[in-house]
Structure formats: C-alpha cells, structure tokens
Structure 1
Amino acid sequence: MMPPFSADQPHTILIAASTTYDTGALQRMLARHPLEVRAVQRGDEALAAVRGGRVALALLDVALAGSASMELCPRLQQASQTPLPVFLLSARPSNDERERAHQAGAAAYLPLNFSPEDLAEKILLHLQLIVPAPVLAGMPTMATLEVNYHTMLSGSPDAILLMQRGSWRILDVNLRARQLFGMTETELIQTDLLALCPPVQPDGQPSAQMFAASVEQIMAGDTQMFELDLLHASGRAIACELRMVPLTTAEHRLMHARIVDVTPRKLAAALRDGKNELLEMIASGAPLADTLDKLVRMIEAQLDGGHCTVMLLNPDGVTVHSAAGPSMPPDYLAALNGLPIGPAAGSCGTAMFRKQTVIVSDILNDPLWAPYRNAAAHYGLRACWSMPILLDRDTVLGSFAMYYREVRAPNDDDRRLIQTATHLAGIAIARTRREEELQRHREHLEDLVAARTAELRQAKEDAEHVNEELSTALDNLSMTQEELVRRDKLAALGALVAGVAHELNTPIGNSLTLASSMSERTAALRRDLDNGLRKSALAAYLDEASGADEVLLRNLNRAAALVDSFKRIAVDGGNRQRGRFVLGDVLPELMQAVQGELRQRELALIEDIDHWLEMDSYPGLLIQALRHLIDNSLLHGFGGRGQLKGQGSITLSAHDSGNGEIAIHLSDTGVGIAPEILPKIYDPFFTTRMGAGGSGLGLYITHNIVTGVLGGRIDAASAPGQGASFMLRLPKVAPL
C-alpha cells in the first residue's frame, strides 16, 4: 500500500451524475483512506468543484459529458491544477461509446451500476493508494481452480474465504466477504486470516493459539464450526462464526471457510442480560450514578462508534446537569451543567422542552445547535439524537442522548435502542426519587413528630388558658344568635300568625259563640226538666241544636281546610326519591293536577316542552317546585284583579341549554310583581296575600328545592302589569 496523501494534495472523489448516486456505500469503502466523496448533478457544478483544486479523481456520467465527443471530460482535466483522472460511467455501455470515451481522455469506462466495492478498488488502485496483488510462485490462481467452485463462491450469501492451509494466505473472496471486512478484493488476497484477527480474543486467549487449536479439531473431524473475533478494516471487532472445510487437490492443501457475522445475536443477548442486571440494580437500590453509568455503557456497547449521555432536569424545571457520559469528554459534560432548556437548546434541552424526541443529523447545520455549534465542533461531535425521559405525560425527568462523530440519521434499530434506554433510565430515576423522598421522610419524621407534639402541647396550654374566656364568649354568642334568630322568627311568625289568626278567627269565633249559646240553652232545658218538661220546649231545643250543629260543623270544617292548606306548602320528604326520568313522563302529572283549577278560572296553559329530555334527579321535588310556581301565579298573578275571563295564560317551557343543564321557564300574563317586592319574594313568611290564602312559604320552599336538592339556580323577572317569569336552570344530573 502506498503512503497516504499529504494535507495539501487533492483528496476529493467527485461524482457528477444526472441521477442520485449511492455515495454512502462508496464513502464507507474509502473511509480508511484520506478521501471524501462529493456528488453534483450539473456540469457547471462539476467544473466549479474541479477549479477548487481539491479533486483527486472524477466520476462522470456519460449523460452529463456533453455531445458525442464528450467534451466535458477534457474540460474537467483542463480546469484541474493537477493531472485529473476521469472515469466515465455509462448507463448503456457499448463498444462505440467505449472508443469515444478513450478518445475523450477517460482513464476508465465503467457501467453506471458498477458495484461501490469494485469501484472503490479501481479508484484506490488508480490513485496508487493500494498496489496490485503480486503473483506468487507456486501459489494457485483462478486458472487452476474449478470454475464451478468460483461461481458458487461468488454467489454465496455468506462471506466465503478460500485459503492455503498452513500459511492461511487468502486466495479468493466473494463480495459478501469484502463487505464484511470493509476491504477490497486486492487488499484481502494480499493478507492471511490471522492478520484479520485481533492479537487477543475476548476471553484473553491469543488469537493464533485459539485458531490453531480450532483448526486441529476440524482436521481431526471433531468439529466444523467455532467462534472467533475478526477485525473490520476500521478496527471494529466482528464476532464471527467460522465453518471450515478442508479441500485437498493433487497440488494444493486448501481450506474453505464460511464466515457468519453473529454480532447482532451477541448484541441482542448482551442487551437482554444487561437489562436484567440493570433491573436487579434498580430493585436492590443501587446508587443512581452507578445505574446510569451501567446503562450508558450497555447501550454504547450496542452502537458502532456512538457515545451516550444522560442529562437530568434540575428541581427548578429550567436548567440541567450531566448525570452520566463515561465516553464523552469531561470538559464538554461540565459545560452542559446549568444550561437552560428551551425551543432551541441543542438536542437534549429542546427534547426536554418539547417533551418529544429530537433528531439532529448534522449539528453544524442545524439551527437547534446554533448556540452550542462551536463547542460541538471543538469536540468533533456531528450528530445527536435525544429522547426525553418522562415520569408521566407532563413531568420531565431528563433526557437520553446518542452522539456520533459523523453526520448520521438513526435507523429503526437505533430508535428502538434509544427508546429502551430511555425507558430503563426513567425507571431508575423515578425509583431513586421515590427512595430519596422516603429517606427524607424517615430522617425528618422524628423531628416532625417532636415539633408537632410541641405545637400540640403549646396549643393545648393556650387552649386551657383561654378556655374560660372562649366558653363565656361562646355562651354570649349563642345567646345573641338565639336572640337574633328568635327575633327574626318572631317577626316572621308574627306576620304569619296575624294572617292565620285573621283567617281562623271567624270560624273559631262563630263556633265559640254558638257553643256558648247552646251551653246556656242546655242549662235552661235542664231546669225545665226539673220543673216538668213540656214537649214543645224539647222540640224547640232540638231544632236549635240541629241548626247549631250544622253551623258549628261548617265553621270547624272551614278552619280544618285552612290548616290543611298551610300544611300542603311544606316540603314533602316522601318526594326525595331519586331516579332517571324524562320530562315527558313526569310533567303530565303536573298538568293534570292544575288543569281543573285553570279551567275554572278560564286560564290557558301553554306547553313548550322537549318531552324526551332525560334527567337523573328528583322528579317528585321538581313537580312540587313547579306546582308552587303555578300556585303563585294563580294566587298572586290572577287572584286579585278584575280581569276578563279567558284572557290570561300560564306558559311552561323546557329545553336543553347545551351545557349539561336543562332550562325550565314558567311565565304568566298576570299583574306582575312590584320592583320593591321582587328582592323579597324568596324570604320565608313574606307574602302580599296574608289573610287571603297566602302563607309566604311557597317561593321560599321552591328556592330551597331548586338551589339545594336539585343543585340548580332560579331567577325571577317581572314588571307591574306585564306578568312574571321564573327561569330554572337545573343540571341533568343532580348532585349527590
């Protein structure tokens, strides 16, 4: 292999193709050499890149080369400050086009779909970064091998090596082997299998010793398979499973080796075992720093060149600090401490602010990293993917991040891995926080109990000191309160009693007068009986007694009816039966109860009810409240004015208000309510019809039913001469 380019030599491989070309595969094959791949899609862009003086070799699509003479090829060579080899790539190769490419000065003419591995080999050979494999005397070549074997080797999906036994020099490889090791065929057939092994295997055994022992078992027929770590061209270890079969001809002793990369299987097993160990650490209460360090190292072992960090959100909910990052530069982690989260705070700060995963594939060109771009470039960081660690949907604990030193986007495996890491980190952090909280409670429990005991003791002493004063104050307050309540009740009761007395005075007075008269008449009859009773006197007494009985019974019935009317306005406890109902099932009961009295007064009842409105409430109390409102309209709205019959109406409507409530509206066309009276209508015992059938309790009870048991509101509106209206807003589901 030739020495690498110096810093001032061109080191760019320019691809000028009219269609998208897979530059990534070619870049990976050239990664070990000081070459970078750049792609353009227009001829003027290719010329500009060559004039920059950094292009070592150009790959030119024939479709961009110009006319039949392919004039762009010599123009590129003329624009270069140093000799510039140009490979022409053709989508439809032909002998005629090959000849024209040669005349245009092309260094090579290749198919456009030429494999990146073979193309990389031709580039390295042409630039003399590798040298052709020499033909060694006595070594077999493809000419001496069976064609069928080579065909089978080339088409195998596994990596295949053909080696000479003893020297273990590689004689032939297939495409999969080149991909596995990241090397060209020319590089592989100039080495031997032991050169592809690390000096020591993971168990500490020298690779040469382990390989020799395994080959000895194979030659003895004891086994055909063994595991061995090999090396990728980048230096990365590859866990492999080798199946080897000896091939012996008359002239050569060969070994056929099939190599299977078992790294994914081992990584999966390591991840599974690591997760179990982490969960055991969390369950046993291991320190959070040790747990997160173990987690980060476990995830980094799954990555190809990746570095991980765990950041935690500080209790202030704004700034962060570094919790784990064993493979990251300590100065970089220290610089992160105290930085705020926000909408453009790198990957981690933005992920915690948004509570969403943030993928930054190119740190130097992403606006999220604008404040920290120089620091990332200083430490060689080019990509960062971060996922927030959440306790729940709204509570952020921190973030888990993966860093790379090249521009890179995550694949599906990367996303699954970061999700696993974030989930495990969340378990560990949440467990630690709970343990710390419990520990704080345990440490301070005795102090809290002592402090609380002292407070209670002091409170007890203070209470004992003021107990006598407090008792006296309470007694005075109770007496004052009782006196105020008694006065209010007496005032209200006085008005009620005055009305009740006025109503009951006439029938009771008549009854007392009649009873007194009959008492005197009875005494006179007894005297007549002692002196000799005449038949005419007895007949007269019986006639008077019969008339007195009739008058007495009529007055007592009237008094009983008045008492019963006062009893009916009280809230009926039997109506407190809750259930689901529709208004169309319960309101007809109310309509039927008041219809007779409305017809007697020749008043119209207008109904506008959504009968299918459903409620979960107290139907009996609802009916009672509405009945009180209708009775109020009949008594106060239509009871005292000289209105023509047939001109009054009461309207009852019920509709869904759309906010979980039902609006019930009851209005009349009666005399209305005076403005000075309207604020008092819900006061107990307040009435304008005292002595005329009013008790002052109907609207008071209605207000208590609506605002209390039914959980709603009631509003009244009226103007003298324009009737009155009551609006009830009731929840569809009454409070428990």
Structure 2
Amino acid sequence: MMQPFSSDQPHTILIATSAAYDHVALGKTLGRYGYAVRAVSRGDEALTIAAGGGVATTVLDAALAGSAGLELCQRLQRLCGADVPIYVLSNAPSEEERARATELGAAAYLPLTFNADDLAEDILLRLQAIPAAPAEADLPSMATLEVNYHTMLSGSPDAILLLQRGSHRVLDVNRRARELFGLTGTELMQRQFPSLCPPLQPDGRPSPQVFGEHVDQVLAGGVQVYELTMWHSSGRTLCCELRMVPLDSGRHRLMHVRVVDITRRKLAEALRDGKNRLLEMIARAAPLGDILERLMLLIESQSEDVLCTALLLAPDGVHVQVGAGPSLPPDYLATIDGQPIGPAAGSCGTAMHRRQTVVVADIMNDPLWRDYRETAARYGLRACWSMPIMLDGDTVLGSFAMYYREVRTPSDEDLSLIGAATHIAGIAIVRTRREEELRRHREHLEELVAARTGQLLQAKEEAEHVNEELSTALGNLSMTQEELVRRDKLAALGALVAGVAHELNTPIGNSLVMASSMSERTAALRRDMENGLRRSTLESYVREAASADEVVVRNLRRAAALVASFRHIAVDSASSQRVRFVLGDPVAQLLQPLEADLRQRGLTLEEDVDHLLEMDSYPGPLSQALGHLIDNSVVHGFDGRAAGTIALSARDGGNGEVIIEVADTGAGIPAANLPRIYDPFFTTRLGSGGSGLGLYITHNIVTGVLGGRIDVVSTEGEGARFTLRLPKVAPL
C-alpha cells in the first residue's frame, strides 16, 4: 500500500544524465507516491538543485561525474548528506568504475539502460515508500523455485503471474504484468489475485467466486482459457483472457497464470455490432434523432471520458442545429444551437465552414474558440475535435465532434472512430433528407393530380365518365394481377410440396408396407404359438423380421436425410472455426474421397490449384461450398452422360483476393434458369432426388461467411463455369 507522505520529508528525485533516459516513466511511477523528478543534463545544474535541499535520491550519469574519480558524486553527497542514496548509471560499465562508485558510497551502480520501472521500484523500497514483501516460512520464494522458470517468466511478452493455489496469493510477476496493472512488483506480490478485479463481474457474481470456479475447473482437467474482468490501478476496466496451468514445486501447490488484455478486441466487436444495429435502424427508417443519439453513445463507449455531439447544418446553410448530444449538459447544447458557422466558430462551426477536420487540443488557448471559450470553461470542456459530415465534396450536412474535459490530441484510433461515426451519421442524414424530399414530392404530386382532376371534372362530364371507367378498369387490372401472383405462388408452393411429398412418400410407403406385413406375420405367429410353434416357423419369422427391420431402417434413414437436407438452408458462421491455412489443405481433403467416385462414373477430375496460397478464413465452409459445386456438376451436368471433365483451379487474383473456379464440360444451364439457380428449392430434378438447396447454400457461404462473391457462365450443351472471388482475410 502507498505510505502517507509527509510535507517535511525530502521529495525531489534528482536525475543528472548527459544521454537520453526515460525519466518520464520514472516520474510517472514515483509521482504516485508524492515524489517529483527533476531532470538536468549538466553538473552545475545538479549542484544548484542539491544545494536547495529537499533531495531524497540522486540518479547520476557516470559521464557527468567528472573523471574516473567521480568528483560530482562526492560533491552531491556533501550537499545532500550521506544518508541520501546515490545511484550511478554508466553507459559503459566496468568493474573498476563499480569499485570506485561503491567506495564513494553509491547506493547502486547500474547500466544506463536499466529499466526505469525497476529503478523506480528499487528507489521506493530504499526510501521505504512501499514495504518490502514479507518473507513467510510457508510460502516459496525465488530461491526455492527453478531458475529456468523465473527466466522464462521474466522474458515472456505476456503478463505472467505465479500464484499459490488455495490462497490465490501472488508470488511472482513479470514486467508485462506490472505494465498491465500499473503496479510495482512489490505491490502485486502483496495481493491476492481476485483483488485485481472489481468486486463483481459483469454477470453480477463476486469476482473471488468466479475466479475460484475457474481454478477448480482447471484443476479438474477442464478448459484452461477463461475471460475475466480486471482493473488497472487507475480504475480503468480491463477485459482479460486467462490461461492457467497448475504447477507443483515440492510441497508447494502453484498456478501459472497468463493474462492477455482483450479489451481492444471486445471494443472492436462492440463497435461492429453497434454499427450493424445502427444500419438496421437506418434501413427501418427510424427517427434521425434516435439514430444519432444511439451513434453518440456507441462512440462514447469506445473511448474513456469522451463526450460526443452531432450538429446539423440548417437549410439556410449558415446556422447549426443540435442533432444529438446525450452526455453533454442540455444548457450547453442550447447555447450552441442556432450559432452561425464561420472561420473562427469553435471546432464544429469551423469544420463545417472549412469542409475539413478541425482538431483543437486546448480550447482555452486556441483562437478558434475565442468567442466561445468562456462557455466551454463553464461546463469544464477543454478539448474538441470535429469532422464535417459531407454529402459530397461540396455539400456539408453537419458535423460530428468529440469533447474531452482535459487537454488532449487525437490518436490514430480516435481519428478512425471519428471517421466511422461521421460516415454512419452521413448515411442517416442523407436517408432522412431523401425521405423528406420524397414525401414533399408525393404531396406536391397529389396537389397536381387533384387540380388536374378538378379541371377535367369542370371541363366535361364525359371526361369524368371516362375517368371512372379507367379507374374501374385499373381496379380490375390490379385485382387480376394480384390474383395471378397468388396463383403463381400457390402453383410454386404446390410444385414444391408435391416434390417433397414424392421424395418422402417412397421411403415412408415402403416402411408402412413392411410394417403392415410384419404385423400380419406376427398375428400368424401368435396363432401358431397357440397350436404349437415349430422351430422352422420361428426361424422363418426371425429371417423375415430381420429383413423387414433392414428395409424399415434404411427407408426411415433416407426420409430423415431428406428432411435434414430441406432444413439445411442457412449457414451458421459462428459454429465454423476461423484459422490461417494454406489452400492446398482443404482442397486435398475434399478431392481425395471424390476421385474414386468420379472415376467410377467415367468422369475426369483436373486440378490446377496453387497449394501455397495463404488465407485467414473458414476452411470448413469453403470445402462445403466447393463440394456443392462439384456435386452440382456431377448430378446436373453429367446426368446420363458417359464421360466428361470437371476442372478445379485456384490462383492469386491480386488486391487481396483468391480466385477459385469450378468448370465442367457437361450439359450446361439453360439461359432461362440462370437467374434462378441460387433460389432456395429451385431444381430441375424435383421429385427425382434433388432438393434445390445446393447452390443456395453455396451462395450463402460465399457471400456471407467467406465475404466474397460468386459468378456463373454457362452455355447449354457446352458446360458451366462457377467463379468464386474470395478475400484472403475473411471479414469479422
């Protein structure tokens, strides 16, 4: 724990270095304990600060200390006092220099490249600002552990913690763990692991209970990867992924825990889902205010301490209107509503005037906010970045802005968020305005129709009579058209039902006949049992029953397979595993079992695939799509043909695409059927074993899961060629 700092204690950490040193990181850690870092690059400056008093520790570059005699070290010691520790850092450490520094009373002699966080922790321990971790007899120390494990832990790029099982006490951590939680190693090793988490997890359960359950599952041989919400020392929430491995060291029961920060990944998933929901709202024509408010809240959830607004440019092209700002004070929004745009109208008004992004990192000192800085100060706003919402290069629709209560400049991620929000806001505004234009056009058109109708009514009674006849004819035509559509739908549904019924009728009918026959045979056997059953009669019954069972089971399985094929019309990407792979692996797994079957049918399979093409995608759905295309060629292209060729090729199409083609020399597809081949249940073999789902499922896989597109070229009698254009990296 942090010790209370007394105002009468020395509180300055003096750093005198002639070379670049990370004194910022050193000051950040020491500042939490009330110490201030004073960094100088000359010896006389260091002596001036030391003479002023209040120096608690000195960090001295040996290159500034004079010569081999380290004169500056001696002079600083006389000014600061013998009890003030001096750390000597050397760019070229040597044993002679180490001995000289030790002789002069230096507290430590370290290389100039020594890690700033480790140095800060050593200073805090030496000044007793943090207590040393107590050595307990029943707890292991690094002296009792294998050196190789500790070396591995220290050099790991991931955050690693070693725990004592049962108490969950932290025994050792590496540098990455200290950075992840913002704590020193000493502070971490005085905690139990659940104390690094908020009291409750997102599901409402206590963190110690959740972590204990995870440990129990690992010890029981269950899954070793779990998600857990944790805390940074600043109070920032961390979404973490834990990988735990139990270890044993003599009588000690330990747990190796690797912690991976997946906060960015979770935020990216939330942003993607939020964008999809917003696009759905836009498609449903939700009110513009609701869309913009949801957009503001989405962007605010992606960054800490951000407050978002969306302003609209009024129809006069001069003044602004508040579109949304759910987290900003209503009084502030009322103040900026109706303000004019211009070359110095804050961030938003200037961005709309300039038609370019405006970044104001410090409102209080930026001339663009000269007329508005008092208003911003009243509500605690210190930074504002704004991007204009554009219809095209010349038409401004409004602006999107991000406010902060501290001086701040945007990062690349912040600019990316602004761009995404501006793009979606632009879509929503354009959609709303176009709907308003259409509504106005409709109203105007209705007025014109009414006026013209009045003129016609006043001009001639005959015109009215003709108009009535035309209206009646139009009504009859509409009714006739609707009736024809209903008939077509009923006819299509009837054909589908007839095909399904026919496919299911045969196996079900066979099963019913066989079951009826066996029912009669069983009744006869019962009568024979009453009159004396002969062995031959029983054996005959058993043979017939076995044969009947085989027929019934085979036909019922066929019926079940048909039902499953009709139900399998959607592709679930969530159940598919996304991996990095080379294209040759799924192609080989697909073609190996097919080659023998194709040879028996008299078909030749030609393969021209670049097996080393790398993809980050879904190999399972890809194999399923290619399998459907090859099966389609066999069933439809070569139905009744004695021989032919199916060719599978794949190449790098450039621009991050892979081009895969499946071509055959079969019967081809009639031109009239080409527009319907991807429709569900469309087949030319309905009633003959075809369900009409193969190409529909293939189309869903290619355009949905794999994020690509599929094209077909076919001439009847000359075969067909399906071309898949797939991104090497599938969309998330």
Equivalent-residue separation in structure 2 for 1:392 and 1:109 (angstroms): 64
| Deviation string, structure 1 residues 112-154 (Cα, Å, up to 9, x no partner) | 2222321332344355442221112311101111111111111
| Deviation string, structure 1 residues 237-271 (Cα, Å, up to 9, x no partner) | 21111111111233111111111222222222111
1:176 matched to 2:176? The reply is yes
* Partner SS for 1:264: helix
2:432 matched residue in structure 1: 432
Equivalent-residue separation in structure 2 for 1:325 and 1:38 (angstroms): 43
Structure 1 residue identity aligned to 2:263: T
Equivalent-residue separation in structure 1 for 2:59 and 2:455 (angstroms): 87
1:194 matched to 2:194? The reply is yes
Does the aligned pair in 2 maintain the 1:282–1:431 contact within 8 Å? yes
Equivalent-residue separation in structure 1 for 2:24 and 2:246 (angstroms): 37
2:284 matched residue in structure 1: 284
* Partner SS for 2:230: strand
What does 1:282-321 correspond to in 2, within 5 Å?
A: 282-321=282-321
What does 1:211-230 correspond to in 2, within 5 Å?
A: 211-230=211-230
* Partner SS for 2:240: strand
Shift, 1:352, TM fit: 2.5
Shift, 1:341, TM fit: 3.5
Equivalent-residue separation in structure 2 for 1:306 and 1:248 (angstroms): 47
Does the aligned pair in 1 maintain the 2:384–2:401 contact within 8 Å? yes
2:147 matched residue in structure 1: 147
Equivalent-residue separation in structure 1 for 2:311 and 2:76 (angstroms): 51
2:255 matched residue in structure 1: 255
* Partner SS for 1:418: helix
Shift, 1:206, TM fit: 2.2
1:402 matched to 2:412? The reply is no
* Partner SS for 2:258: strand
1:114 matched to 2:117? The reply is no
2:231 matched residue in structure 1: 231
Structure 1 residue identity aligned to 2:155: G
Shift, 1:33, TM fit: 4.9
| Deviation string, structure 1 residues 61-94 (Cα, Å, up to 9, x no partner) | 444455666666687789999x986644432334
Structure 1 residue identity aligned to 2:136: L
Equivalent-residue separation in structure 2 for 1:317 and 1:105 (angstroms): 74
Equivalent-residue separation in structure 1 for 2:325 and 2:48 (angstroms): 43
What does 1:237-248 correspond to in 2, within 5 Å?
A: 237-248=237-248
Deviating more after overlay: 123-132 vs 142-151: 123-132
Shift, 1:279, TM fit: 0.5
Equivalent-residue separation in structure 1 for 2:50 and 2:375 (angstroms): 32
Equivalent-residue separation in structure 2 for 1:213 and 1:372 (angstroms): 55
| Deviation string, structure 1 residues 588-611 (Cα, Å, up to 9, x no partner) | xxxxxxxxxxxxxxxxxxxxxxxx
What does 1:370-385 correspond to in 2, within 5 Å?
A: 370-373=370-373, 381-385=381-385
Shift, 1:110, TM fit: 3.6
2:358 matched residue in structure 1: 358
* Partner SS for 2:423: helix
2:272 matched residue in structure 1: 272
| Deviation string, structure 1 residues 254-293 (Cα, Å, up to 9, x no partner) | 1111112222222221111111011111111222222222
Q: Residues 383 and 66 from structure 1, CA distance in 2 versus in 1: closer, same or farther, beyond 3 angstroms?
A: farther
Does the aligned pair in 2 maintain the 1:355–1:396 contact within 8 Å? yes
Shift, 1:305, TM fit: 4.1
Percent identical pairs in the alignment equals: 66
What does 1:482-631 correspond to in 2, within 5 Å?
A: none
Deviating more after overlay: 357-366 vs 149-158: 357-366
Does the aligned pair in 1 maintain the 2:23–2:39 contact within 8 Å? yes
Q: Residues 331 and 135 from structure 1, CA distance in 2 versus in 1: closer, same or farther, beyond 3 angstroms?
A: farther
Structure 2 residue identity aligned to 1:117: D
Structure 2 residue identity aligned to 1:320: V
Does the aligned pair in 2 maintain the 1:2–1:128 contact within 8 Å? no
Does the aligned pair in 2 maintain the 1:71–1:104 contact within 8 Å? no
Equivalent-residue separation in structure 1 for 2:155 and 2:49 (angstroms): 39
2:413 matched residue in structure 1: 413
| Deviation string, structure 1 residues 504-527 (Cα, Å, up to 9, x no partner) | xxxxxxxxxxxxxxxxxxxxxxxx
Does the aligned pair in 2 maintain the 1:32–1:233 contact within 8 Å? no
Structure 2 residue identity aligned to 1:190: Q
Shift, 1:385, TM fit: 3.0
Does the aligned pair in 1 maintain the 2:310–2:399 contact within 8 Å? yes
Q: Residues 322 and 256 from structure 1, CA distance in 2 versus in 1: closer, same or farther, beyond 3 angstroms?
A: same
Q: Residues 364 and 63 from structure 1, CA distance in 2 versus in 1: closer, same or farther, beyond 3 angstroms?
A: farther
Structure 2 residue identity aligned to 1:419: G
Q: Residues 68 and 387 from structure 1, CA distance in 2 versus in 1: closer, same or farther, beyond 3 angstroms?
A: farther
Equivalent-residue separation in structure 2 for 1:66 and 1:456 (angstroms): 109
Q: Residues 269 and 54 from structure 1, CA distance in 2 versus in 1: closer, same or farther, beyond 3 angstroms?
A: farther
1:136 matched to 2:140? The reply is no
* Partner SS for 1:133: coil
* Partner SS for 2:256: strand
Equivalent-residue separation in structure 2 for 1:362 and 1:294 (angstroms): 28
Does the aligned pair in 1 maintain the 2:345–2:368 contact within 8 Å? yes
Does the aligned pair in 1 maintain the 2:145–2:249 contact within 8 Å? no
Equivalent-residue separation in structure 2 for 1:424 and 1:126 (angstroms): 55
Structure 2 residue identity aligned to 1:91: N
Deviating more after overlay: 175-184 vs 61-70: 61-70
Does the aligned pair in 2 maintain the 1:381–1:404 contact within 8 Å? yes
Q: Residues 64 and 165 from structure 1, CA distance in 2 versus in 1: closer, same or farther, beyond 3 angstroms?
A: same
Equivalent-residue separation in structure 1 for 2:280 and 2:337 (angstroms): 29
Equivalent-residue separation in structure 2 for 1:366 and 1:76 (angstroms): 43
Shift, 1:346, TM fit: 3.8
Deviating more after overlay: 396-405 vs 370-379: 370-379
Equivalent-residue separation in structure 2 for 1:325 and 1:54 (angstroms): 49
Does the aligned pair in 1 maintain the 2:162–2:170 contact within 8 Å? yes
Q: Residues 375 and 279 from structure 1, CA distance in 2 versus in 1: closer, same or farther, beyond 3 angstroms?
A: same
1:156 matched to 2:159? The reply is no
Does the aligned pair in 2 maintain the 1:85–1:106 contact within 8 Å? yes
1:673 matched residue in structure 2: none
Q: Residues 73 and 268 from structure 1, CA distance in 2 versus in 1: closer, same or farther, beyond 3 angstroms?
A: same
1:584 matched residue in structure 2: none
* Partner SS for 1:419: helix
Equivalent-residue separation in structure 2 for 1:397 and 1:146 (angstroms): 66
Deviating more after overlay: 332-341 vs 270-279: 332-341
Q: Residues 36 and 342 from structure 1, CA distance in 2 versus in 1: closer, same or farther, beyond 3 angstroms?
A: farther
What does 1:673-688 correspond to in 2, within 5 Å?
A: none
* Partner SS for 1:229: strand
| Deviation string, structure 1 residues 47-70 (Cα, Å, up to 9, x no partner) | 787899998766454444556666
* Partner SS for 1:311: strand
Equivalent-residue separation in structure 1 for 2:51 and 2:311 (angstroms): 46
Structure 2 residue identity aligned to 1:229: T
Equivalent-residue separation in structure 2 for 1:360 and 1:102 (angstroms): 52
Q: Residues 411 and 45 from structure 1, CA distance in 2 versus in 1: closer, same or farther, beyond 3 angstroms?
A: farther
Give TM-score scaled by structure 1 length: 0.54
| Deviation string, structure 1 residues 461-505 (Cα, Å, up to 9, x no partner) | xxxxxxxxxxxxxxxxxxxxxxxxxxxxxxxxxxxxxxxxxxxxx
Equivalent-residue separation in structure 2 for 1:117 and 1:68 (angstroms): 28
Structure 2 residue identity aligned to 1:137: A
Equivalent-residue separation in structure 2 for 1:373 and 1:53 (angstroms): 41
Q: Residues 92 and 386 from structure 1, CA distance in 2 versus in 1: closer, same or farther, beyond 3 angstroms?
A: farther
* Partner SS for 2:301: helix
Does the aligned pair in 1 maintain the 2:309–2:401 contact within 8 Å? yes
Equivalent-residue separation in structure 2 for 1:263 and 1:315 (angstroms): 42
Shift, 1:351, TM fit: 2.5
Does the aligned pair in 1 maintain the 2:2–2:33 contact within 8 Å? no
Shift, 1:178, TM fit: 1.2
Deviating more after overlay: 224-233 vs 26-35: 26-35
Equivalent-residue separation in structure 2 for 1:334 and 1:77 (angstroms): 62
Structure 2 residue identity aligned to 1:317: G
Q: Residues 246 and 430 from structure 1, CA distance in 2 versus in 1: closer, same or farther, beyond 3 angstroms?
A: same
Q: Which runs of 5+ in 2 are unaligned?
A: 459-732
Give TM-score scaled by structure 2 length: 0.54
